[in-house]
Amino acid sequence: MISNSLNKNPNYRWVILVISFLLMMVVNGMTFGGPTVFDDLLLENLKNANGETISRAELKLRESIMIWSAACFGFLSGTFADKFGVKPIMLVGLLIFSVIYFFFADVETINDIYLIYLGFGPCLIFVGSLTNVILISKWFTSNRALGLGIMAAGSSIGSAFLTPFYAWLLNYMDWRSVILFNAFIPLLMLIIVLFFLHEKPSNKNHSSNGGHNNLLMNGLLFKEALKSKNLWFLILMAMCIFYTMMGMTTNAFLFLRDSGFERQVASISATILFMGSLTGKVTCGFFAEKFGRKRVLICYFIGFISGSILLTIAAGTKDPYLIWFGLGIFGTGFGGIYTLKQLLSADLFGLRSLGKITGLINLTDTIGSGLGPVMTALFFDLTGNYQTSFFIITCVTCMGLIFSFFLKVNDKEIERSKSEIE
């Protein structure tokens, strides 16, 4: 196999990182950011079971269904990843992803949309953050924060690129044709994963990576992790941040359209949120290594809250500059927190049961991420604006900050352990 020959190269971990980056770019861009460009068209063209025009809350229920569907597969997939590896799971996920997009192009009712997003759920788990966090954590002992940050940045770039790209394609193609085009992208990634993705480092790469074979088995057993207060505070923090993130990102395009932005301008403006997230994901790795995980986490939370406050104000004023600035600050804050959450999962609990632990965190944070889209849209339907929705997002974000204060993170101990292994 091609991957076996490449794996002899000590720099092969960077090949793995590129593949992981592309997978995150595809799966998140094609499920979260990108499809929001079609939201106003779906509101116009789709009907509910009674043949009536659908509400925003009905439309946004699709993301909640996707998240809760992902939750059903999260813990089980983590267990399989620990036992069999991530590559087989990724291949299955990419195949399912492609088939679903073929059906997506033919949707007629909101129930069809719900079925599509029900299928997107396992794809998020099989191809998304759960499998990629495990993969990068195995390959990157040193520079793990950097590796996870770059990996996570793929999700932001995917949404930032596909959102205006879809809007541009709509100038030349109908929306069903644009959706059908997406069915071929997972097939391309399937070929790349099949031939170039190698499950774990060879002995040679371990030495070049500054690691050790035993590192892969280092860490807490799952039952030991369950007794850790850190795990439960991390879970509660994740529930809060994913409520706010999912509530904002899935409603951002419609919010921009309501604020007077034309489709192309709205799609480009929405990318400010994703580019801010990209900035947070890339920079937090450097800052976490230099200044410590806990201190940097608090700083990004402050930015996260500041952005949500600005957007709450902007929902009333419709000021485009305030909207743009708020989206950028909000995205940067979330991007940093998201990456630190992944980093802390590996640093605090080790790699021995990382699949199960990550699966549990993903399972529980879906309570927040599943409620975020539909509740944000529901409050809009009730009030006619996004001010109440964004105010609640701000309050939930503050709760996440409070939970983060209770995390006990010993950066010196983390670095000392890594140094001993190296």
pLDDT tens by residue, 85-115? 889 999 999 999 999 999 999 988 899 999 9
CA distances from 193 to 21, 97, 291 (A): 12, 14, 35
Residue 19: pLDDT band with limits 50, 70, 90: very high
pLDDT at 202: 55
pLDDT of residue 215 exceeding 70: no
- Alpha-carbon Rg for the chain in angstroms: 21
Separation between Cα atoms, residue 223 and residue 115, nearest integer Å: 35
For residue 11, with 0-12 CB atoms within 10 Å meaning exposed, 13-18 middle and 19 or more buried, which class applies? exposed
Q: What is the pLDDT of residue 359?
A: 73
Mean pLDDT taken over the chain = 83
Q: How does pLDDT run across 26-53, given as a tens digit for each residue?
A: 998 898 878 888 888 888 888 766 677 8
> What is the average pLDDT across 131-153?
79
Is the model's pLDDT at 1 over the cut of 50?
no
Residues 148/137, Cβ–Cβ less than 8 Å: yes
Domain limits, the chain: 2-411
**Nearest CA among 345, 365, 313, 352 for reference residue 414:** 345
CATH H-level superfamily of 2-411: MFS general substrate transporter like domains (1.20.1250.20)
Q: Give me the torsion for CA of 40, 43, 45, 49, rounded to 10°.
A: 160
pTM, entire model: 0.75
Q: Is 81 exposed, middle or buried (0-12, 13-18, 19+ CB in 10 A)?
A: buried
Residue 176 burial by Cβ neighbours in a 10 Å radius (0-12, 13-18, 19+):
middle
For 293-319, how does the pLDDT look when each residue is reduced to its tens digit (9 = 90+)?
Answer: 888 899 999 999 999 999 999 999 999
293 or 378: which leads in pLDDT = 378
**Distance separating alpha carbons of residues 300 and 290, to the nearest angstrom:** 15
Per-residue pLDDT tens for 52-91?
788 889 898 998 899 888 888 776 777 777 777 889 999 9
Q: Provide the CA 202 distance to its chain's centre, in angstroms.
A: 29
Q: How far is CA 337 from the centre of its chain?
A: 11
* Residue 299: per-residue pLDDT: 92
Dihedral of CA atoms 288, 289, 291, 292 in degrees, nearest 10, equals 60
Element (H, E) at 262: none
Q: For residues 278 and 282, what is the distance between their CA atoms, to the nearest angstrom?
A: 6
Whether 103 and 6 have beta carbons less than 8 Å apart is answered as: no
Per-residue pLDDT at 321 exceeds 90: yes
pLDDT, greater one: 226 or 93: 93
